[in-house]
């Protein structure tokens, strides 16, 4: 039954997107075969009013009709320009995650169920919501903290959001499997793996304890950083469905006139923002991945405060070194070194020629050196780099794509504050310092120390590894002598799985046939 339900949810979503003109707005001229036929049908079925709207308005209306789960899908795909394309990703990034507020009584019920205490015992005051998004809404409140009453922001999950998301998730997986099966050109983008990424990201975002932990970690990392911080978390009043944090009084970064009226130095704020982001990325390997201006406040003393840490990114030491060496290689015009870094990191298969790859990298770098520094976009540089690496079969790296998307947003905010912003001059103190510390003699010593620690850990595990190797050798010998055998239970489960697969295939064919008949009736 769940397969049938997933099919009908998918058909409903497809119909709404068709009627709102979303599918017709896609670049269908690049399609061929059945996908192109479907695109032509979608153009015929688009409602008249939608035909004359911009694509982002069509997307917004369709997603509003489809509900909170599709808002999260749109937000997630906005972080994957490698999957949906840069233009559609930009349209999705502009979607406003603003939903209808749910009643205060339901919010109180969620809080009390999550924390196991009555609302009056938790807060000295609790007010009506001021904003609502797809997953949660925010209430102003006050708490007694160390004998002093202080204002806080209380974020509460939307009732029933998990059940709705998990139900819609089945249809997302169904669509992804169909893409991989019937659209060979999409297989490189791994749609099923992308859908798993959406599932994991949203599950994390729907557990507000994990957002609280991310705020706590970023707060510890940045406690000595100049001009940047995040709100503190009230752990006593935080649970799976509620997070209580410091109330931030400040001007939002998308209110440029308000920042000027408050007397803030906008070029200085732009530099602080970029340097803070690069510190988090290179120094800590942990960064806020949703730093649009609505999530950034500026306090009276000029400190930038980042809120809403539902989406965070991580980079390992190898990825951080990869990023730093690439940026440094472009600055020094050492394109061969940039190419070698891709091969050393294992991002480009060894079947390709490093010199040919360096030539492609040069095609990106040389035009940059003929431009004024303030016109060069680091985010655009990474975008072009990813486009070139596709030609050399570089596998999609979700952590690097998320970094690139966040850098586009942060750099855009900085240029809004200061149109003459020089990205390279602002980045040099942070990037240069990290390169000196990690790629020079000090970095070599750190690598040696890490290698010794790894060798010591391996030595401690040597007896267990030897025992496992001996056991595996005996089992392989036994299989070679007696053949591979399944027990009765394993054979029975394999038979059941094959039967389910055949049955679901028949159901899918009937659903497709019914859908085509219905569309034909609509056209006729």
* pLDDT reported for residue 483: 59
Query: Cβ(358)–Cβ(341) under 8 Å?
Result: no
User: For 412-422, b where at least 16 C-beta lie within 10 A, e where not — what string?
Assistant: ebbeebbeebb
141 bridge partner residues: 126, 152
CA dist 97 → 61, 68, 223 (Å): 12, 9, 30
**Catalytic, out of 91, 234, 290, 308:** 290
Instruction: Going residue by residue through the chain, which has 524 residues, state the pLDDT in tens, using 9 for 90 and above.
Output: 467 777 777 788 878 878 877 777 776 666 666 767 777 787 777 887 776 677 767 777 777 777 777 777 776 677 666 566 666 776 666 665 567 889 999 999 999 999 999 999 999 999 999 988 878 899 999 999 888 999 999 999 999 888 888 777 777 787 778 777 776 666 666 777 777 777 777 778 889 999 999 999 999 999 999 999 999 999 999 999 999 999 999 999 989 999 999 999 999 999 999 999 999 999 999 999 888 888 899 999 999 999 988 888 898 888 888 888 877 787 778 889 888 888 887 778 888 899 998 998 888 888 776 666 666 676 677 777 777 776 777 766 777 777 877 887 888 889 889 988 887 788 888 888 888 888 655 544 554 555 555 556 656 666 776 677 767 666 666 666 665 555 566 556 556 655 555 555 555 445 444 544 444 444 44
296 bridge partner residues: 306
Kind plus residue range of the DSSP H or E element containing 271: helix 266-278
* pLDDT reported for residue 286: 94
Query: Which residues, 6+ apart, have CB-to-CB distance to 151 below 8 Å?
Result: 140, 141, 142, 247
Is residue 234 part of the annotated active site? The answer reads no
Secondary structure of residue 384 in the 3-state scheme: helix
314 bridge partner residues: 286
222/279 Cα distance (integer angstroms): 9
Backbone angles phi, psi at 137, to 5 degrees: -130, 165
Backbone angles phi, psi at 270, to 5 degrees: -60, -45
């Amino acid at each position: 039954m769940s397969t049938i339900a997933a099919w009908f949810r998918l058909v409903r979503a497809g119909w709404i997107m068709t009627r709102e003109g979303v599918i017709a707005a896609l670049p269908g001229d690049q399609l061929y075969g059945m996908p192109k036929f479907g695109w032509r049908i979608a153009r015929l079925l688009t409602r008249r009013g939608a035909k004359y709207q911009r694509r982002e308005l069509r997307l917004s209306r369709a997603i509003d009709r489809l509900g909170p789960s599709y808002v999260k899908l749109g937000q997630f795909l906005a972080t994957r320009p490698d999957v949906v394309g840069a233009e559609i990703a930009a349209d999705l990034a502009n979607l406003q995650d603003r939903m209808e507020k749910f009643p205060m009584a339901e919010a109180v019920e969620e809080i009390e169920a999550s924390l196991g205490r009555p609302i009056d015992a938790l807060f000295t005051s609790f007010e009506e919501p001021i904003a609502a998004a797809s997953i949660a809404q925010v209430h102003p409140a006050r708490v007694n903290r160390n004998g002093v009453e202080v204002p806080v922001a209380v974020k509460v999950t939307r009732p029933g959001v998990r059940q709705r998301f998990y139900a819609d998730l089945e249809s997302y997986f169904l669509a992804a499997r169909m893409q991989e099966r019937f659209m060979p050109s999409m297989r490189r983008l791994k749609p099923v793996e992308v859908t798993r990424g959406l599932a994991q990201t949203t599950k994390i975002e729907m557990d507000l304890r994990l957002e609280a932990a991310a705020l706590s970690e970023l707060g510890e990392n940045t406690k000595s950083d100049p001009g940047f911080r995040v709100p503190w978390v009230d752990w006593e009043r935080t649970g799976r469905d509620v997070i209580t944090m410091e109330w931030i009084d400040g001007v939002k970064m998308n209110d440029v006139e308000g920042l000027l009226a408050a007397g803030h130095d906008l070029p200085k704020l732009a530099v602080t923002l970029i340097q803070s982001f690069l510190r988090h990325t290179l120094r800590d390997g942990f960064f806020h991945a949703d730093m649009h201006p609505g999530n950034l406040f500026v306090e009276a003393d000029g400190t930038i405060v980042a809120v809403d840490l539902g989406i965070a990114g991580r980079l390992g030491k190898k990825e951080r070194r990869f990023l730093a060496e690439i940026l440094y290689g472009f600055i020094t015009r050492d394109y061969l070194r940039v190419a070698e870094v891709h091969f050393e990191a294992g991002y480009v298969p060894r079947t390709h020629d490093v010199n040919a790859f360096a030539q492609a990298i040069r095609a990106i770098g040389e035009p940059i050196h003929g431009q004024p520094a303030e016109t060069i976009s680091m985010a655009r540089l990474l975008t072009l780099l990813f486009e070139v690496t596709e030609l050399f079969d570089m596998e999609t790296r979700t952590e690097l794509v998320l970094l690139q998307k966040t850098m586009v947003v942060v750099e855009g905010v900085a240029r809004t504050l200061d149109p003459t912003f020089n990205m390279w001059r602002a980045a040099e103190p942070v990037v240069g310092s990290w390169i000196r510390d990690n790629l020079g003699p000090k970095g070599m010593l750190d690598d040696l120390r890490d290698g010794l620690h790894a060798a010591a850990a391996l030595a401690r595990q040597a007896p267990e590894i030897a025992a496992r190797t001996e056991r595996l050798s005996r089992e392989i010998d036994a299989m070679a002598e007696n053949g591979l055998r399944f027990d009765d239970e394993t054979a029975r489960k394999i038979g059941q799985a094959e039967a389910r697969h055949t049955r679901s295939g028949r159901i899918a064919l009937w659903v497709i046939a019914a859908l085509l008949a219905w569309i034909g009736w609509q056209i006729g």
